[in-house]
Amino acid sequence: MTVRSLGVRMLAVAGVLGLTWAMAPMPPTRAADSALVPVFDQELYGDFTVIGNAVLDCPSHDEPGMGFPVQRCQDAERLIGSGEGARNNGHFMRWANGSDGVYDSSTARLTIPPGAHIAYAGLSWSGAIGRAGATCVDDPRTKPPGDPAGQSVLLNGVGVAAQRFTADSPGQLKDEDGVYYSAHADVTGRFAGVDGTVDVTVANVWAQQGPDCYGGWALTAVWAYDQPQPDYAPAKNQVIVYDGHAHLPVVGPRATVGNTGLRYAGGTARVGVVAYEGDWSGVGSYLLVGSSTQPSAGPFFRSVADGAVSPAHLNNLSVDARTIEVPEADMRTGTDLAFVSDQDAFLAAGAAISVPRPELALDVAAEQSAVRPGDQVTYRFTLRNPGGAVLRGLVIESDQLPGCAQRIDRLEPGATQSFACAGAAGAQTQTVTAKASGQNLLGETYQRSADVPVRVVHPGMEVRMVADAEQVTAGGTAGFTITVRNTGDSLLTGLTMDNELGTGCVNRDAGVVEPGQTVTLRCAIAAVEEGFTNTIRLTATDESGRQVSAGAEARFDVVRPKLALVFQDHAEQGAADDGVVLAWAALIAMVIVAGGAIRMSND
């Protein structure tokens, strides 16, 4: 509600609602009397979102007795126009989306990251009660049945009763101030299992109809993951949600909330607000963080609700339910979060604040996948801060690598620093552990550790060569079999063979040999004129990238065959028909001489 000019300018700041929090290293304290009080306070891998909508809308046609045509109201919903004709003051506001069983309703869309769960959900609703002789007049013909204190709202069709209800006392207000109420309920259980996007419809919000009347609702939802989620929640935030009823009249005292327990560790903060009856075309309203006024195109509290679907007005003329980012520079100008009115009365009914925490992530990797005993191993240490606040005084060290200790003064939000360091490998495979620690601006310590296995290999290879025959005919083919056994604990790759006599087996690739595996090769070589020794050497690459080799040899004797014919004859006696015995036989033998004699005979 905005008051018309009375010829003199009223107080520039008519009311302030202050929220204060601790800066490091101050411990949190709490004021005795708080206009808004925390209803949720956790550090978690998540954040909050605020949505809402109005349940009153511009009339569909011109109303008798109104000073402005209805088109001025409808233009204001599109952020067109100025002055009182662009406010709810000058129009007979009507219930929105009424239907059987409900007199008003509206819808907003809640979106949370995939896989997150709702850790808290608080529903706020408010309206102008109306009173005789004041704006938003108490008129039984235009108000809903019952009373706001006993009226349950419908949340997606299911009734919700107020767990906190507050109404203004008319005796404490000026004649120009309206009478407001607000209610709150914890509805976390209603959002169990919600993931992604869901439409939220709230109906039967008790709201008087008429000029200068308002009605609306807001939902503050805190979503979270059980562990870091790289895309949506890589680090923790401290999230505090506040609820209450602080009517900032046109002219009134300062309303203050004491220290809320918020522990700010630096970085960009998020602030969500729930307020009612802010005027887009009003003279002024502000949100201050410390001494810094937050940027706004016109009044800060101007009835803008995030997520509004139906109605979907840029200016809903009833409720603010939105979130802004506050830079670190503004957060450091003071400890107050202030709702400020300047000739525009409104109701502060809730707030949410999210401040980031740093997150320490440590990775360590060995540049070599495998080494031999005593080899120099190059390690790369990488520190990351995926959080939204700075880390300082970081120390990285490893008991196994005393020469690799490093100190880093600061690690800014989102920053990465890395360095390399070398150390000798041991005799056997081992796991190298690195540790890192640092502190946030509150003095809280963050510690992380990371391991990297260092594979130490002991390669070995045994080669044997067996000749098919020890003697080879000159000019013939000498065959031999080669067996290669991997006697170490490393894979052997790129196994090749060199034969100094230049056979077809030269550089023949035998592939990969597993530890304990035996590979067999068959080869042949052209014989020479004299006896010879065949020498081979096999070479492979182990997992450290270095070569291992072994050789074998076999002796071959070369023989040259010679041919000789030997004739032997003798006579044998036998009986014939005529009584004369006469016989002869010839023995022909062919002798092949090849270093010895092989006799072929025919008797």
pLDDT of residue 135: 73
The whole-number average pLDDT for the span 106-135 is 91
Question: Does the CA dihedral 67-72-74-76 come out positive or negative?
Answer: negative
Residue pair 118/220 in contact (Cβ under 8 Å)? The answer is no
pLDDT in tens, 222-248: 999 999 999 999 999 999 999 999 998
4 falls within a domain: no
Residues making up the chain, counted from first to last:
603
The whole-number average pLDDT for the span 365-383 is 96
pLDDT more than 70, % of the chain? 82
d(CA 74, CA 83): 14
Segments forming the whole domain that contains residue 586: 562-602
Instruction: Please state the domain count of the chain.
Output: 4
d(CA 497, CA 480): 14
Range of 88-92, 207-211, 456-460, 537-541 with top mean pLDDT: 456-460
pLDDT of residue 280: 86
* 470 and 574 assigned to the same domain: no
pLDDT at 207 over 50: yes
* 579 and 543 assigned to the same domain: no
Which of 392, 272, 388, 411 lies closest to 328 in space, CA to CA?
A: 388
Neighbours of 169 (CB within 10 A): 8
The whole-number average pLDDT for the span 89-106 is 92
pLDDT at 317 over 50: yes
pLDDT more than 90, % of the chain? 58
pTM over 0.75: yes
d(CA 296, CA 286): 8
* 503 and 578 assigned to the same domain: no
Residue pair 275/349 in contact (Cβ under 8 Å)? The answer is yes
Q: Among 436, 456, 476, where does a domain finish?
A: 456
* 286 vs 430, residue with greater confidence: 430
* Least confident stretch, 123-132, 392-401, 416-425, 525-534: 525-534
Q: Among 356, 379, 410, where does a domain finish?
A: 356
pLDDT of residue 497: 82
* 541 and 406 assigned to the same domain: no
CATH number at residue 555: 2.60.40.10
Q: If you average pLDDT over every residue of the chain, what do you get?
A: 84
pLDDT at 600 over 50: no
Residue pair 152/144 in contact (Cβ under 8 Å)? The answer is no
* 176 and 295 assigned to the same domain: yes
pLDDT of residue 22: 46
The per-type count for the chain, helices as H runs and strands as E runs, is 2, 41
The whole-number average pLDDT for the span 461-485 is 88
402 falls within a domain: yes
* 378 and 245 assigned to the same domain: no
* 382 and 238 assigned to the same domain: no
